[in-house]
Structure 1
Amino acid sequence: MTHQPQKPSPRPVPPGELRASHDDREAVVDQLRDAAAEGRIDFDELDARLEQALTARTHAELAVLTADLPRPDLPGSQAPLVLKGGISGASRGPGRWEVPGRVIAHGGVGGVKVDFTRVACRLTEVAVEAYGDTSGVVIVIPDGWAADTSGMDPGVGGLRDETTPDRLPGTPLVRLTGSGGMGGVVIRHPNHRERRKLHSNPTQN
């Protein structure tokens, strides 16, 4: 009986050696331009790094270019957005707005609504702390985004998660924590009225 020689198993590729995509390069280019605008690097260094970013072949080559810069996808690298319902309520959206890594919403007496449907977000995760208080918090996320509500305390008002798990590649995961309080917390995709507005005026700011 003859034994067939075993073929060597393929060597796992370290993450840094994975090939970079056009989107990976563009994300680094955007981060470098933002860093120059903030005064973190001068314009001569920006030009040199941009040239390297546009010709980079692997993730490791891209990582070197931003290793000394704040990570834009880490909660805490940008000031959190804090919304407080107060007496008359508060909202953010549905126009275009810059999404930080962390959003804190207190429903208060007037309630809070956070609408992500028109934002362009490069983050891999968005941490949302929602406290329903008296009048509750409503969070609206686009189709294709997904939510993780396992860290949420429903409180007396409860938690209603009406989102679907069908997350599209390249979209953020909303990680929801906090407490429903008396007013409760709702996270959902756009309703019929909101969808009509999105379709009738898709470029609204």
Structure 2
Amino acid sequence: MSVEPSHPVPLRASDADREAVVAELQEAMADGRIDLDELGARLEVALSARTHAELAPLTADLLPVAPPAQPLLLKGGIAGAVRTGVWRVPHRIRAYGGLGGVKIDFTQAACRLRVVDVEVDGQTGGVEIVIPDGWVVETEHVDAGLAGLRDRTTAAKLPGSPLVRLTGTCGMGGVTVRHPKRGERRKLLRESR
């Protein structure tokens, strides 16, 4: 039986992760938040970064220009709903488990926000949230409902990484927040090569 390491292994950055940081830096320069010299220096680091921990400081001091007005709405319905892969994280997400459940996977998402507000309603199917190592979750404003909340995350926050702030109710299906499982980590490592 293998044992998980006690310290989180730095998650490797993919080409998509580096490209998201490059796009954010270019946008910051266009907005006048950084100058051309600073853009060049940060781009050099971004393009050679191997882990998320190396990328995070490059955009930690850059605030987004304007939050989107509408939250991302995920409804599980009968078949369920999944948000995974490479996607841009909005300020607010509403997840309704329905019968089929909702899964929100942040492990490959592009996120330049300090706080992401996620309103959950587990309903019957439940809501599952997967966050990268280094991200943290705040769960004290979630009603346990019938099924309860399972928080399987660590409290070790990387500088510049987001806080996922949960509100809402677990309902009958429950809400689970966790880091990637061993198989998911292997898949992420393969994809980042």
TM-score, normalising length: structure 1:
0.65
Q: Which runs of 5+ in 1 are unaligned?
A: 1-25, 34-45, 58-70
Larger relative CO (CA 8 A, sep 6+): 1 or 2? 2
Taking a change above 3 Å as real, the CA distance of residues 32 and 106 of structure 1, as seen in their structure-2 partners, is farther
Matched, 1:116 2:106: yes
Distance of aligned partners of 1:73 and 1:141 in 2 relative to their CA distance in 1, 3 Å threshold: farther
Secondary structure of 1:123 counterpart: coil
Matched residue SS, 1:109: coil
Q: Take 1:199 and 1:28, find their aligned partners in 2: how far apart are those partners?
A: 25
2:73 matches 1:82: yes
CA distance in 1, matches of 2:35, 2:101: 46
The equivalent residue for 1:182 is: 172
Off by >6 Å, runs of 4+ in structure 1:
none
Match of 2:184 among 194, 197, 204: 194
Cα deviation, residue 119, structure 1: 1.4
Supply the distance in 2 between the matched residues of 1:103 and 1:31 (Cα, whole angstroms).
24
Identity of aligned residues (%): 52
CA deviations 1:106-149 (Å, max 9, x no partner) are 00000000000011211000001111000100000000000100
Cα distance change on mapping 1:73 and 1:168 into 2, 3 Å: farther
Which residue of 143, 153, 175 corresponds with 1:153?
143
Q: How many residues align?
A: 147
Partner deviation per Cα, 1:150-176 (whole Å, 9 max, x = no partner): 111110010000111100001000001
Match of 2:13 in 1: none
- Preserved CA contact (<8 Å) 2:86 2:108: yes
- Mark the runs of 5 or more structure 2 residues left unpaired by the alignment: 1-22, 39-62
TM-score in terms of structure 2 length: 0.69
When Rg is computed on C-alpha atoms for both structures, the one with the higher figure is 1
Cα distance in 2, alignment partners of residues 86 and 135 from structure 1? 9
